Each structure stands twice: as structure tokens, then as C-alpha cells.
A and B are shown apart, each in its own frame.
Chain A
Amino acid sequence: MKISRRHFISASASFAGVMMLGAPSVIGQAKPRVVVIGGGAGGATAAKYIAKDSGGAIAVTLIEPNAKYQTCFHSNLYLGGFRDYPSIVHDYAMLKSKYGIDVVSESATRIDRDKKEVSLSGGKTVAYDRLVVSPGIDLKYDSVPGWSQAAEEVMPHAWKPGAQTLLLKKRLDAVENGGVIVMIAPPNPYRCPPGPYERVSMMAHALKVAGKDRCKIFVIDPKETFSKQGLFQQGWEKYYKGMVEWLGPKVHDGVKSVDPASGTVVTGFETYKNAALVNVIPAQMAGAIARDAMLANASGFCAIDPTNMKSAVDSNIYILGDASIAGDMPKSAFSANSQAKVAALMIRGELAGARTFDARYSNTCWSLIETDDCVKVGGAYEAKDGKITASSTFVSKTDETPDVRKQSQAENMAWYAGISADIFT
């Protein structure tokens, strides 16, 4: 049954347009079904590219509970006052109207891999021929002693976007001059490796602009080193002297506990009391829907085949973005978008007979340190040695001219416009 359907689609692929016009009843019976869980940079991109490039030959359903999507990327620029909130919010209207994607505003509650069905929060199920799982991260609330899901209202993480982003901004703006901010940075692997340090920069910028330059931001980091460290630390010294202090694990000896009620953070080295703001960015894992379906390994993330982004444990399922173990690629929107295009091609190859090519991946992460001073890191990647492996990488240099940094910020803003158009329009 499956072979004959694929054969039929394959033989007819070049006439897909004619079929759309001339034989809808045949298509209605034969159309393969792709279900996508998660409407972020991975899932929405995959849904769009499968629908767009298959010319209607594949039925695409996108399951995303939020009607609006607020990007985590550039939410730091909102914190710093370089963007307004509406500019980082998008919707799925064009994915429906332009590409015919069935956008279902419900949560996916369960994947039945044997039946090839996804259960929805509204009680229905959706059947798939191929499933794309792109749920992003879940937070490990128990990774910081004393912190909890309830405590996120007091000590926000703002590492999943939306209400938390708005809360962190509100709390930052309320910090008085001389106030202490403590950021607890996450252990590897986590979403957006340079993100915590760009956030520190944007917090310091917002405080400085507001005349609160006696504030101090302590970064309690479980990692010995971090992304673009030399560039960030140079920038903090140059622009925010005395306002930012980064402490590695040898210095602070670990976060022993936090007390949300009193704004206390206890480390092995020092206790911070009455902090004006504590930003807890905890350890992370793949979204629950992926873990519950046994798609994740002991690391909490999902192993993939680097040649196509297929789950290592289920050949009918593709895993994208932050939930995947993508080798040398960081967990970023750019990476998820890049992986989605590979998966979309491979899915069209499997279900609609499209010609496929070797997987190529790429990523660039821009980080704003201060007005017109932006740095970047990136790479090109391919399947090699059983994982996604960097074939080339680059990072901004500490001795770049102001013009180069300004140009990087223009690129950063243009990238946002580009990727958001690429995902949502």
C-alpha cells in the first residue's frame, strides 16, 4: 500500500500542478500526511518548506498551541531597549493562507509511534506518514536548589519566551540605582550559547541608559568558559566598567541554594542577599512530548541521523532544533531553521519523490554588546563521522574596527527580518 502510493506520487511528481487542478479526488485519497509538532524556527520552517515545495502534494499539519509566536531570538534586544515587543511577535496566518498548512492551535499531548498518530489536547488524534518533532526545550526546574516553576514568577528565567520575557523586562526596569542583579547561567548544553552573555550586556546597557550605573550584575556560571567570552568580557570592560562581574565555578564553587522570597543566592563562595533581581537560567532538556515518546536518550535530548535529521530511534520521525543532538551545531533559531530545510527536502524525497541532495547546515549567532557594537560566531556543517560536524567556523575578532562592528549589527537586524520572513511569510 505504502509502496504503491509512493510510486504513484513519485511518477506523478512532475505533474503535481496539473494534478492539483485536474484530479483533486485522486489527490485526496493519495496525499501523504506530514504532522509537525512545534511552530518555532524548526517546526514552522519545516511545515512551510514541505508545503511550499511539494506544490500541494503533501498535506501538512502544524500543531502549535500559541496563536502568536514570540521569538526568543532578539528578546535580549527588547530587554536592552533596541526593539519593541510587537516587533518580536509573529503569527501563522500566512502559513495557512499562502501554503495551505493546517495550523492546529492545540498542544500535542502524546505520540503513538506504533499507530503513527499524535493526540491533541482537544481530544482528537492526527495520523501521520512522517512526523516532525520540534518542541524546543523544557526547563529543569530542579537543577537549581530552592528554585521551582512557581518561583519563576519571582526569579524569572525568560529562557522560554512570552510572559517571562515581559516579566524580566519589567523587573529590570524596576531595579533601583545601586541594586544587585544575579544571573545564574546554565550548564551545557542549552539554548542559545551566547544568549546569557548578550543578556548581561543588554541589561547593563538598559541600566546605564537609565542612569543606574551603580548597579552590579553578578554572573554565576557553572561553566569554565563560555561562547565569545573574550569578546563579551572586552565589551563589559569597555562599556560597563564595574557593572558586570563574571564568576566561574572555581571561584563560586557552585550555587548551593536560592530563596525566592528574600532574593537570596547562596554560592560556595559568597551569599548574595536582597538581590533586586535574580535571573535563573536553569539546565535544559528536550520538550516533554519528545521525551515521553522515548525519542530522547539519557542526555535528555534526541539523537538524530546527521544526514537527514531523522530520529535515531524512529525512521518515521524527524527531530529539529533545540530538542535534537546536532553535533557541532549550537541550539539556535538559525540552526533549527537550517535543519528544517534539510528535513523538508528529505521528507519530500520520501513522500513525493523529490530529488534530494547531501545535507548542508549553517549557523550564525550575532550578539549585541552595546549600541552599534555587535559580534558574531558561526559555521558551516555537514554529516561526517556519524554526527553533524563543522567544516568551517568563524568568530569576530577582538581588534575589529567600529565600522565592522556596526556593520555586524546591521546584519543582525537584517538577519532577523530575513529569518522571520523565511519562517512566517
Chain B
Amino acid sequence: MLALLLVTSHVQSVSAGDRELGQYLSSECVTCHQITGKAIEGVPPIVGWPEDQFEAVMKSYKEKERDNPVMQNIAGRLKAEDIAALATYFRELR
């Protein structure tokens, strides 16, 4: 735990998103998505994705280009900086 905190705090300086914001917002995601990155049928893993891919997927839900209403609901209120923060947070969890 300590090691994780130190490592991620170091990485923060080269990351795009606000890590503390990402950590708070991520708590909403891990109600369904496994924080370990484990894949479970029905809810895909979201840990370790490239940030641009994560952001593109979230944007597609936000703009309702993808169908799932649960994700549309979650993504709908996220601002660009929220999505960037989440993308950074989940990439670093890898």
C-alpha cells in the first residue's frame, strides 16, 4: 500500500490527469469493475488501458454513441478533466 502510494505520487508529475480527483471518481467505477483488473463476464476490466483509449470510450458513452444506459449515466456528468483524471488513475493501477 505504502509502495503504491509512493510510486503513483512519483508518476503523477508526468501524467495528464489529476490523480487525487481520479482516485475519488474511481470509487464510483469499482462498485462494478474489479479494481484488480480481473475480467468478469458482463463488466469489462478497465485497469491499465492507454489513456487515449480510456478517454475515447468514456466520451463515446457520454455522447451516447454506445448503448449501455448505466455507463451513459456515469459518463454523462463527467467533464473532460474528470475523464482525464480517471484515465490516468486506472492506467497507473496496472
Do they bind each other?
yes
Interface of A is mostly: helix
Choice from B27, B43, B76 contacting A414 with Cβ under 8 Å: B43
Q: Does residue B40 face the partner (Cβ distance < 8 Å to A)?
A: yes
Q: CB-defined interface of B1-26 with A at 8 Å, one 1/0 digit per residue?
A: 11001100000000000001101110
Q: Does residue B50 face the partner (Cβ distance < 8 Å to A)?
A: no
Contacts of A338 in B (CB 8 A): 28, 31
| Least CB separation from A419: chain B residue | B31
| Least CB separation from B85: chain A residue | A357
Instruction: Assess whether A418 is in contact with B72, with CB atoms less than 8 Å apart.
Output: no
Give the docked Cα–Cα distance between A382 and B78 (Å): 13
Q: Does residue A330 face the partner (Cβ distance < 8 Å to B)?
A: no
Instruction: Assess whether B30 is in contact with A364, with CB atoms less than 8 Å apart.
Output: no
Instruction: Assess whether A391 is in contact with B77, with CB atoms less than 8 Å apart.
Output: yes
Contacts of B25 in A (CB 8 A): 357, 360
Contacts of B56 in A (CB 8 A): none
| Residues of chain A from 380 to 425 with CB closer than 8 A to chain B in the complex | 380, 382, 391-394, 396, 407, 409-415, 417-419, 421-422
Contacts of A393 in B (CB 8 A): 73
Q: Does residue A341 face the partner (Cβ distance < 8 Å to B)?
A: yes
Interface size on B, residues (CB 8 A): 29
Contacts of B70 in A (CB 8 A): 364, 376, 378, 394, 411
Give the docked Cα–Cα distance between A328 and B76 (Å): 18
Instruction: Assess whether B27 is in contact with A17, with CB atoms less than 8 Å apart.
Output: no
CB distance from B63 to the nearest CB of A (A): 14
Instruction: Assess whether A418 is in contact with B24, with CB atoms less than 8 Å apart.
Output: no
Instruction: Assess whether A418 is in contact with B28, with CB atoms less than 8 Å apart.
Output: no
Given contacts A357-B24, A360-B25, A418-B33, contact A411 B73 (CB under 8 A): no
Q: CB-defined interface of B59-86 with A at 8 Å, one 1/0 digit per residue?
A: 0000000000110111011000000000
Contacts of B1 in A (CB 8 A): 52, 55
Q: Does residue B32 face the partner (Cβ distance < 8 Å to A)?
A: yes
CB distance from B24 to the nearest CB of A (A): 5
Instruction: Assess whether B2 is in contact with A55, with CB atoms less than 8 Å apart.
Output: yes
Give the docked Cα–Cα distance between A149 and B5 (Å): 50
Q: Does residue A345 face the partner (Cβ distance < 8 Å to B)?
A: yes
The interface of chain A, by Cβ under 8 A from chain B, is 17, 20-21, 49, 52-53, 55, 334, 337-338, 341, 345, 355, 357, 360, 362, 364, 376, 378-380, 382, 391-394, 396, 407, 409-415, 417-419, 421-422
22 A-B interface contacts by CB (under 8 A): A49-B27, A341-B24, A376-B69, A378-B69, A380-B77, A392-B73, A394-B69, A409-B42, A410-B43, A411-B43, A411-B70, A413-B41, A415-B31, A415-B32, A415-B43, A417-B34, A417-B40, A418-B30, A418-B33, A418-B40, A422-B30, A422-B31
